[in-house]
Amino acid sequence: MKKIMSICAIFILLLSMSIVTAIQPITKDAKLVEPDGSFSGYIGIPKQQDPIIMGNISGVYKLGNRGGAFNASWDIEYKNFSGTGTLLGFFGKNILLGKLSAEGYNKTLPIIGFIGFDKSNQTFIGRAMSVIGPALYFWGTYQPN
């Protein structure tokens, strides 16, 4: 039993060292975006020509050492459905985690997704999915403070 516990402890130690080494802090030159600011954009399906825009998203973000946090409001009006709500979460290099709430409902949904930034023209694009509903794209611009 002691031998198994020792092997497990060594395995966990090596695994945690690998993870800590792989997750380097974001240096000042390699920041994803500026330290804090606001953003606005669209929700839908981006195509090269004539994107399908289902709604809007806007909010603020703050960047820390290893990623950032955001707080946004959204509204959708598409075909026979309309709704508004909030979106809170965190983002890292390419990963997005958060929770989505809609007005009129007492539930929040967890979301996970991917996000990419283009610092040259201050734009972002990503895709978020949840346990309910389609995986929609979001894209737009950000403005540093």
Q: Rounded distance, CA 135 to CA 110, Å?
A: 13
Q: Which residues are registered as beta bridge partners of 118?
A: 123
Q: Could you give the CA distance from residue 63 to residue 143 in angstroms, rounded to a whole number?
A: 13
Average pLDDT over residues 113-132: 89
- Return the higher-pLDDT residue of 82 and 13: 82
Residue 127: CB atoms within 10 A of its CB come to 17
Give the domain ranges of the chain: 36-144
CA-to-CA distance for 30 and 15, rounded, in angstroms?
26
Question: In CATH, which superfamily holds the domain spanning 36-144?
Answer: Calycin beta-barrel core domain (2.40.128.20)
Largest CA distance in the chain: 64
Which three-class secondary structure state does DSSP give residue 79? coil
pTM of the model: 0.71
Pairing of strands 81-91, 136-144: unpaired
Residue from 53, 60, 59, 97 nearest 76 by CA: 53
Determine the Cα angle at 11 with ends 7 and 13, to 5°: 115
Query: What are the pLDDT digits (tens) for 56-87?
Result: 999 999 988 778 899 999 998 888 888 899 99
Reported confidence tier of residue 90, pLDDT bands at 50, 70, 90: very high
DSSP 8-state symbol, 94: S
What was the pLDDT predicted at 61?
Answer: 93
